[in-house]
Structure 1
Amino acid sequence: MIVLTRRRWLAVAAASAAAAGLGLAGCSALRSEYTFSQDQLQSALERKFPFNKRYMELFDIQLANPRLALDSTRNRVTVTFDATVDNRLFFRQPLTGRFALDSALRYDPPSHSLVLQDPEVRQFDVQGLPGQFARQLNALGGILSEQLLQDYPLYTFKPEQLRLAGSSVEPGTITVLPDGINVKINRP
């Protein structure tokens, strides 16, 4: 029969508590998923804008003030921007309007980011656009979403978010929720 003195009992209890604490801490570090709220994603997106691009050496395009909407029923996101299109050759002043795209999401390993996949134009309205340019502007909107915003990062993971027990992990299934995005982590 083992008899523990008060001092010895306290030492054993402290060691047990510390071990239990380490076990719990280890479990919390073994994340199997991340859920980002719409506000977190909106903040991450805002840091990546304004977006400026010159297209065909003719048009200067700026997208600013992104607003994110989540479509959980279709597992897609919609991003709406204030748009400015400038072409000093055709327009006296820059044209302004709204640009919206609808997109799926995927994980891009080289950039460690959730990126837009197969974005589609939902809206491209520019105020004061001469009628003869409407078709070209709509084509420009399609090109803008398909070529320039394809693989555009919505959220970039921090390195520590992609480490699990000393090993690298990658995000797997991405699910758009009514109020955020859930990303499952593939374990090694």
Structure 2
Amino acid sequence: MIRTSRRRWLAAAAAATLAVGLAACGAFRSEYTFSQSQLQAALERKFPFNKRYMELFDIQLTNPQLTLDSVRNRVNVQFDATIDNKLFFSQALTGRFALDSGLRYDEPTRSVVLQDPEVKRFDVQGMPAQFSRQLNALGGILAEQLLQGYPLYTFREDQLRIAGTHVEPGTITVLPDGINVKINRP
């Protein structure tokens, strides 16, 4: 009788171990999809964005608004912009800054980041005419140099570990209502 109980116990333990192992394999996430509202919330946590450029301009971007362009596989982001330079302007200039960008995965930061952002609009209220060309050039530099690689979403460490193995995000696709990130199998 003891042998029968022990055999049953061993069989039950083996079945439970097998079930846990199969469940772990089946639990592998092959993709993550983030809704536009999740991305917007993640983006808002990273603002305001303050940067001093060339020791001349203090730039602040606030109130980011994210829209998705699934047809072009790009994201659009608009910000309120404030540019200050006590040497050239009597008061800070304010306006609206808009860009669109591709996305890529950045392994060191575990983030989906802006890739090749392009300025679509840089409207500044009260801009002196003599600075118009320079300010538009500054907007292009801001997009290309300061916002290139800017994180849109950062993965938690546990999102990139499957059964103790590190996994890497692969293809990133912009959807009409979110972003889909495929996970490469280990």
TM-score normalized with structure 2 length: 0.89
Q: Supply the distance in 2 between the matched residues of 1:145 and 1:35 (Cα, whole angstroms).
A: 26
* Offset of residue 133 of structure 1: 0.5
Letter of the aligned partner of 1:114 in structure 2?
V
Letter of the aligned partner of 1:122 in structure 2?
K
Which runs of 5 or more structure 1 residues have no equivalent in the other structure? 1-10
Query: Which of 92, 104, 109 is the aligned partner of 2:90?
Result: 92
Give the corresponding residue for 1:165.
Answer: 163
Q: Supply the distance in 1 between the matched residues of 2:18 and 2:178 (Cα, whole angstroms).
A: 33
> 1:99-156: per-residue Cα shift (whole Å, max 9, x none)?
0110000000111000000000001000000111000000000000000000000000
Asked if 1:79 is matched to 2:81, the reply is no
The 5 Å alignment of 1:1-188 reads: 22=20, 25-27=23-25, 29-188=27-186
> 1:58-86: per-residue Cα shift (whole Å, max 9, x none)?
11000001010000000000000000000
More deviation, 26-35/124-133:
26-35
Which runs of 5 or more structure 2 residues have no equivalent in the other structure? 1-8
Q: Supply the distance in 2 between the matched residues of 1:28 and 1:142 (Cα, whole angstroms).
A: 46
* Local SS of the residue matching 1:151: coil
Q: Supply the distance in 2 between the matched residues of 1:176 and 1:86 (Cα, whole angstroms).
A: 35
Q: Supply the distance in 1 between the matched residues of 2:36 and 2:54 (Cα, whole angstroms).
A: 35
* Local SS of the residue matching 1:182: strand
Q: Supply the distance in 1 between the matched residues of 2:134 and 2:120 (Cα, whole angstroms).
A: 16
Letter of the aligned partner of 2:162 in structure 1?
L
Letter of the aligned partner of 2:106 in structure 1?
D
Please provide the CA RMSD for this pair.
Answer: 2.2
Count of matched residue pairs: 182
